[in-house]
Structure 1
Amino acid sequence: MKNIELVTLKRLKDTTLYEAVEEGIYRELNDKGLTPYRMIISYVIETGDADDEHPLKDMMDEYGIYGVQYICKSGANALVELGGSLEALRRTKYVLGKRIRSEAHQEDGNTRMRLVIE
């Protein structure tokens, strides 16, 4: 996945439902749980990715965030709403503008996947 960017949808500007915390991060006012923070990103799925969701899942594991909603996928473009703690989403902003891929490597005789950020 590449060309990762923040996206602000119209619904995030509804101040009865969301509070803007900082650029690209919003607090969902009706979520009383421990992780009410949201961030929406768009990205391009690279041609040849056998499992186009693998880099996204690896990124979520790496930064301790989760997918709230897959908003749309049109061709090679995707839009996803991410949730997590405020600090986790702030750390996730590191990937903006970067390329992310999953790479196989050997560990203890087993093939495992690891996240590569370029």
Structure 2
Amino acid sequence: MRILSYEYLQWRARQLALLEKELDPHNFHRLLQALDGLESLISDLMEVLTHSGNKDTAPYEAAFIAEEKRVTLRELLEGLAEDEEELEMGVVCLQRAIRMLARALRAKLAVAFPFSMN
């Protein structure tokens, strides 16, 4: 079973950064791949946070918001949104949510594991 650890949080923060870079509203293939990767990552992260007793924490809330933004963007894509501006706005909102999640994970690292590497 995956556990909430310093290494796990670092690994997920790195993956978030990589996936955020793949969110390109002008390249649907990359965008869809990034959304699939985010779905898996966020689901796993929320499960680990829940099982470690961190359900009512900032990282969990940020993950929940990022998942909502991901679902909204996926729905826009499935509806083949004619408005390119709406699609770009959806990508920007998801990127912002991912950055918030990454910041929450880094804060959790700083608070929960300050001496774990000594």
Q: Which has the higher contact order (CA 8 A, sep 6+)?
A: 2
Higher helix share goes to which structure? 2
Taking structure 2 as the reference length, what is the TM-score of the superposition? 0.30
More strand by share: 1
Taking structure 1 as the reference length, the TM-score comes to 0.30
